[in-house]
Structure 1
Amino acid sequence: MLSVDLNCDLGEGFGPYPLGDDVALMPYLSSVNIACGVHAGDPALMRQTVAAALAHGLAIGAHPGLPDRQGFGRRELAISPQEAYELTLYQVGALQAFVLAAGGRLHHVKPHGALYNMAARNRPLAQAIAQAVKDLDPSLRLYALAGGALLDEARALGLRGVSEVFVDRGYGADGHLLPRGTPGALLDDEEAAVAQLLSLVRDGGVQSSEGHWVGLQAQTVCLHGDGPHALPFARRCAEALSQAGIARRAPA
């Protein structure tokens, strides 16, 4: 039976300021990426989100980002590979502590926002992030943009690199995500998102914004949890996968 992982970025509120309904999303997912208290999140929210994810039987990943709360980690910062290594190790270790304390096991790491996109293009940065993951726990999987440098570097270091695509983001002809703020960067129509999801999973690719076919390996599919359409999108995507005979399953 064909299967794919459906993941979502969660735990991205702060203190009394929630962002999205994380628990309501969980029944439709197979894995989650939990913010580690730097671009978003805090210790209490990390603990709560880990507990809820374990209660739902979801694979848990750490979601390290750039130290830019005001920009939600989506603005590029000029960091060195050494700084990327340290930021990754620091944040993943923190989330791993909460998972272990709750009786679980960390499944994967997925960088957030600008750090994720920078690592898809910048090989020294990608190598540093992958090395941090390997040094902490070489059994961890590293979720990375399909066709990007981080996926290559993870696999070169012997990590289980997992090729990620996006159901609610537009793609350019080079296979990279369209920058936020540009036309077509965000998909806010349910049926368009579902069509893109099935195209990625069943057909192995997607139509770019320029109308070109872009082949992409879809081992895990991300649905963002911070948008106003997150819950209906998650529900509709889960239904579409089930109707197509595609199981939701985290990578082994």
Structure 2
Amino acid sequence: MAAIDLNADLGEGFGVWRLGDDDAMLDIVTSANVACGFHAGDPAGLMRVCRSAAGRGVRIGAQVSYRDLAGFGRRFIDVAAEDLVADVVYQIGALQAVARASGTSVSYVKPHGALYNTIVTHREQAAAVAEAVRLVDAGLPVLGMTGSALFDEAARVGIRTVAEAFADRAYRPDGQLVSRREPGAVLHDAAQIAARVETMVTSGQVSATDGTLLTLGVESVCVHGDSPGAVEIATAVRDRLKAAAIELRSFC
């Protein structure tokens, strides 16, 4: 039987502000990319998410980002490599402590937002992220985009890479994601998204905005937890995959 991991970005509330329905998403996904406090998330909220994930057997990943609470980590920062290494080490370590106190552990690392997109091509920052993971725990896989500079740098230092595809994001013809600043960057039709994901998983392909058929590595599919209708979309994806006899299973 074919199998795939479903992941979502969770723990992104801050103080009295709540973003998405973490508990509902944790009933659907197999891996949770948990914010580490730099782009979103506060300690009490992160502990609640980690405890909920532990109770459901959902794997926890450290979602590391630029230090950018005001911009939700979606703005490029020209940070020095030495500082980025330290920032990523700090974030992984913080979530490791919260997870351990919640009866679970951090199983992988996934960059967030602008950092994720930047290290597809930015060699220096990609190397900094890979080095930070190596320094903390070389056994932690990194979740990211096939063909990225991050994957090259992670492989160079002996870090496992896990290829990710996005259920609800449009792709450019070069295989990168359409910027959220552009119209149509985020998809919203649950049925269409679910059908798209089935095609991704079964064929390893997805259509770009110009109709180009892209070949993707797909070991995990991201369903964003902060999108409008996120729970409906994630439910549709899960049900479509199960109907196609595709098992939902974490990659680690």
> Normalized against structure 2, the TM-score is what?
0.97
Q: Deviations over 1:29-60 (max 9, x none)?
A: 00001001111001111111100000110010
1:34 paired with 2:31, answer: no
1:101 lines up with 2:101 in the alignment: yes
Partner of 2:157: 157
1:103 aligned counterpart, secondary structure: coil
Secondary structure of 1:110's match?
strand
Paired AA for residue 182 in structure 2 = T
Alignment of structure 1 residues 1-252 onto 2, 5 Å: 1-252=1-252
Say if 2:169 and 2:178, in contact at 8 Å, map to a contact too.
yes
Alpha-carbon RMSD across the aligned residues, in angstroms, is 1.0
3-state SS in 1 of match to 2:90 = helix
1 CA distance for matches of 2:212 and 2:247? 28
Tell me if structure 1 keeps the 8 A contact 2:8–2:225: yes
State the 1:102 CA deviation.
2.2
SS of 1:28's partner is coil
Query: How far apart are residue 226 of structure 1 and its match?
Result: 0.6
Helix, strand or coil: the match of 1:250? coil
Distance 1:10 1:211 in 2: 31
Contact kept in structure 2, 1:147 and 1:216, CA below 8 Å: no
Moved more, 78-87 or 241-250: 78-87
% same residue: 42
Q: Deviations over 1:178-230 (max 9, x none)?
A: 01121321101112211221121111111100111110000111011011110
Deviation of the 1:13 alpha carbon: 0.5
User: What one-letter code is carried by the residue in structure 1 that aligns with 2:154?
Assistant: A
| Contact kept? 1:4, 1:247, Cα under 8 Å | yes
Structure 1 counterpart SS, 2:78: coil
Which sections of structure 2, spanning at least 5 residues, go unmatched? none
Partners of 2:164 and 2:83 lie apart in 1 by: 24
Kept in 2, the 8 Å contact 1:194–1:237? The answer is yes
Contact kept? 2:51, 2:103, Cα under 8 Å: no
Q: C-alpha distance in 1, partners of 2:50/2:238? A: 22
How far residue 150 of structure 1 moved from its aligned partner, in angstroms, is: 1.0
8 Å contact kept, 1:208–1:214: yes
What's the offset of the Cα at 1:171? 0.3
Question: Which 4+ runs in 1 deviate beyond 6 A?
Answer: none
Distance 1:7 1:91 in 2: 19
Count of matched residue positions in the alignment of Structure 1 and Structure 2: 252
Contact 2:195-2:240 within 8 A present in 1 as well: no
Q: Deviations over 1:159-180 (max 9, x none)?
A: 1110111000000111100011
TM-score when normalising by structure 1:
0.97
The CA distance in 1 between the partners of 2:123 and 2:199, in whole Å, is: 29
**Unaligned runs of at least 5 residues, structure 1:** none
Alpha-carbon offset, residue 156 of structure 1: 2.2
State the distance in 1 between where 2:82 and 2:143 align: 20
Q: Does structure 2 conserve the Cα–Cα contact (< 8 Å) formed by 1:141 and 1:159?
A: yes
SS in 1 for 2:79: coil
2:143 aligns to what SS in structure 1? Answer: strand
Contact 1:169-1:187 within 8 A present in 2 as well: yes
Q: Secondary structure at the match of 1:70?
A: coil
Contact 2:62–2:95 (Cα < 8 Å) also in 1: yes
